[in-house]
């Protein structure tokens, strides 16, 4: 009579472990290397592995694709825009 609870517990453990083994393994996520912009002059980029689905958004935020497996040493220059310093107003003197 004392063996019945022990047998039930052993059976429950066996059933629980077989259910875990029957679970399908997760699908591997496709990843790619990208140079993440750190916005620091000393180390402007760091090479990271990200999901392929996130690459487009990262490129919009300043990250770049590596060239020959390495990140650039400097961040690209900003594109010029119209500012007060580039547009000059003409003044007339009387």
- Domain hosting residue 57, numbered range: 26-67
Per-residue pLDDT of 72-89, as tens digits, reads 987 666 555 554 554 455
CA–CA dist 19, 58 (Å, integer): 39
Per-residue pLDDT of 37-71, as tens digits, reads 998 989 999 999 999 999 999 999 999 999 988 99
- Has this prediction a pTM greater than 0.85? no
Structure tokens at 43: 């180390």
**47 occurs within a structural domain:** yes
Partners of residue 67 on adjacent β-strands: 70
Number of domains in the chain: 1
**1 occurs within a structural domain:** no
């Amino acid at each position: 009579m004392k063996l019945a609870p022990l047998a039930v517990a052993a059976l429950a453990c066996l059933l629980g472990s077989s259910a875990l083994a029957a679970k399908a393994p997760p699908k591997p996520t496709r990843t790619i290397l990208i140079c993440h912009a750190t916005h620091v002059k000393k180390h402007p980029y760091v090479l990271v592995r990200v999901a392929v689905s996130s690459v487009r958004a990262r490129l919009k935020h300043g990250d770049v694709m590596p060239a020959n497996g390495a990140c650039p040493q400097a961040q690209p220059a900003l594109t010029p825009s119209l500012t007060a310093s580039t547009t000059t107003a003409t003044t007339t003197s009387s």
